[in-house]
Amino acid sequence: MSSHSPPPRHLEHLVPCPWLPIPAEPLDSRATRRFGPDRGPGFYLAVLNYGQSLWLQGYPARALLLVNRSLGADLDGSEPVLKEWHLPYMAAAWIMQHRAEDQFIGNPRRHYQHLASRMVAPRKALRTWRAWACWFIACRIFPDYPSDEEQIAEEGVVEPGFDEIFEHLDALGIPGEATLWQAAVGQSQPTHRGMPRY
């Protein structure tokens, strides 16, 4: 954080996301930067806390980016933190559905399409299917938001269906991951809030 930037603060009127931990104080990027290249359970929990803090600061788009980062953590499913804080598919759905009309969120459908189709190492295959899983949720919540049709046409991107995503999460993800995602899909209800702002 720049020495000239005001300290982060949580907005009192915002309700915390029930699927993310609540930090003791407002956080900035230092909360995760201290982990360097480490992507273990400590990083995972710190990212979830920072995502909640960004949501409470009124930045749903940035909070979603932190949810993305948490899904890139290097976890095998045995970590104690996952018993309390599951992989945040529910959190992603909740943030997309509960952001206020005047809060910027961009176009999550397009964002996750790009993320999934342009994924790089490490753990590329798993992270790709996790991005498609979030894309599927975004499509349900924002049915009026457009995909990147130009990229689909030029790069031959194939949008997967529910069964294909479930099968890949079940094969590549941690135990129970596909079922967690399925539950989040079931909780995702369409919102019609006009076209996205970029």
Q: By residue range, what is the domain housing residue 147? A: 30-187
* pLDDT tens-place values along the chain, 198 residues long: 555 678 999 999 999 999 999 999 999 999 999 999 999 999 999 999 999 999 999 999 999 999 999 999 999 999 999 999 999 999 999 999 999 989 999 999 999 999 999 999 999 999 999 999 999 999 999 999 999 999 999 999 999 999 999 999 999 999 999 999 999 999 999 987 655 654
Residue 35: both structure tokens together: 């982990």
CA distance 152 to 158: 7
Tell whether 2 is covered by a domain: no
Note the helical H segments in the chain: 30-33, 41-56, 60-70, 81-84, 89-98, 108-117, 124-141, 149-155, 162-172, 177-187
On the 0-12 / 13-18 / 19+ scale of CB atoms within 10 A, 147 is middle
The reply to whether 151 falls in a domain is: yes
Q: Is residue 167 part of a domain?
A: yes
- Asked if residue 59 belongs to a domain, the reply is yes
Q: How many domains does the chain have?
A: 1
68 assigned to some structural domain? yes
Residue 21 falls within a domain, yes or no? no
16 domain-assigned: no
Q: What is the pTM of this model?
A: 0.93
| Domain contains 71 | yes
Q: Is 79 exposed, middle or buried (0-12, 13-18, 19+ CB in 10 A)?
A: middle
